[in-house]
């Protein structure tokens, strides 16, 4: 039996199998590396973080409008009240936290005694947030401004209708022989609230500027005498 000779010039056929042993070895090595290095990525640094304590928003103080007409009748937020009822409501208001702001509106014909009585009642119960409200749209010039202030604030008949006189009358709010309807205790502040301030700024900006300047000057006077500022100006 004879066999054919090998043909060295014949092209070999394609290999049917792939040797994956080297690839498996590499994957095993990588798996070992990942296993060893995994704890390094999972270790957390322990920190004592500050604990934020939520604080409730401070409650806004309520506003009570005390109006006194020319006949001396008193109104609590537009409700007419007798002095005995006013006393009871002031007692309840003083218990609130925070205390309400008392906005006083006095007619130009209101007698000083009535204003003083209302203020004394509020002060006796510990209510110290007092405001005087005036309408900024009322003054059309300096003459009308001074006439309004003289009537509403109770300036004396000798009031000179000038800003210097305005300053003088409001520089003695804590004196018994002051020159206005208002008497303040040592730590009390009278808040002058000007409503319709935008209208006043548009119509008589020079008056509004003078008022702001004079309020600052009056408070400097009080500080020069070692007292707490007595005035605050609020524009609304």
Per-residue pLDDT for the chain (236 aa), expressed as one digit of tens each?
444 444 545 555 555 566 666 666 777 777 777 676 666 555 555 656 556 555 556 667 788 888 888 888 999 998 999 988 999 999 999 888 888 888 888 877 777 778 878 888 888 888 878 888 888 888 899 999 998 888 878 888 899 999 999 999 999 998 887 888 888 888 888 899 898 999 999 999 999 999 999 999 999 999 999 999 999 999 98
- Is residue 69 domain-resident? yes
pLDDT, position 2: 46
Question: DSSP alpha helices (H): ranges in 103-195?
Answer: 112-124, 142-153, 163-169
Strand ranges of the sheet holding 63-68, from the earlier edge strand across to the other edge: 79-81, 74-76, 63-68, 101-106, 129-135, 189-195, 231-235
124 falls within a domain: yes
Q: Extract the tokens encoding 51.
A: 């604990």
- What is the count of structural domains for the chain? 1
Is residue 131 within 8 Å of residue 194, measured between CB atoms? no
- Position 229 in a domain: yes
pLDDT at position 4 is 47
Distance of CA 132 to the CA centre of its chain: 19
Beta bridge partner(s), residue 192: 132, 233
CA atoms of 170 and 214, how far apart (whole Å): 10
Task: Decide if 76 contacts 127 (C-beta within 8 A).
Answer: no
- Structural domain including 75 reads 63-235
Residue 57: inside a domain, yes or no?
no
For the chain, strand residue ranges (E) read 63-68, 74-76, 79-81, 101-106, 129-135, 189-195, 231-235
Is residue 55 one of the residues assigned to a domain? no
């Amino acid at each position: 039996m004879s066999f054919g000779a090998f043909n060295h010039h014949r092209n070999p056929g394609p290999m049917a199998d792939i040797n994956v042993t080297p690839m498996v070895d590499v994957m095993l090595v990588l798996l070992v590396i990942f296993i060893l290095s995994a704890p390094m990525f999972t270790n957390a640094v322990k920190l004592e973080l500050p604990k934020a304590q939520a604080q409730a928003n401070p409650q806004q103080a309520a506003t009570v409008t005390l109006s006194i007409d020319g006949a001396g009748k008193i109104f609590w937020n537009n409700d007419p009240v007798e002095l005995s009822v006013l006393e009871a409501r002031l007692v309840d208001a003083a218990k609130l936290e925070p205390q309400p702001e008392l906005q006083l509106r006095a007619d130009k014909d209101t007698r000083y005694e009535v204003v003083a009585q209302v203020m004394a009642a509020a002060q006796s119960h510990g209510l110290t947030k007092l405001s005087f409200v005036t309408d900024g749209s009322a003054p059309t010039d300096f003459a009308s401004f001074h006439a309004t202030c003289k009537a509403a604030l109770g300036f004396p008949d000798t009031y000179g209708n000038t800003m210097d006189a305005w300053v003088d009358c409001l520089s003695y709010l804590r004196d018994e022989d002051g020159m206005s309807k208002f008497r303040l205790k040592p730590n009390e502040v009278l808040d002058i609230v000007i409503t319709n301030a935008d209208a006043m700024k548009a119509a008589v900006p020079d008056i509004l500027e003078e008022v702001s300047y004079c309020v600052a000057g009056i408070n400097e006077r009080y500080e020069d005498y070692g007292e707490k500022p007595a005035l605050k100006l609020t524009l609304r």
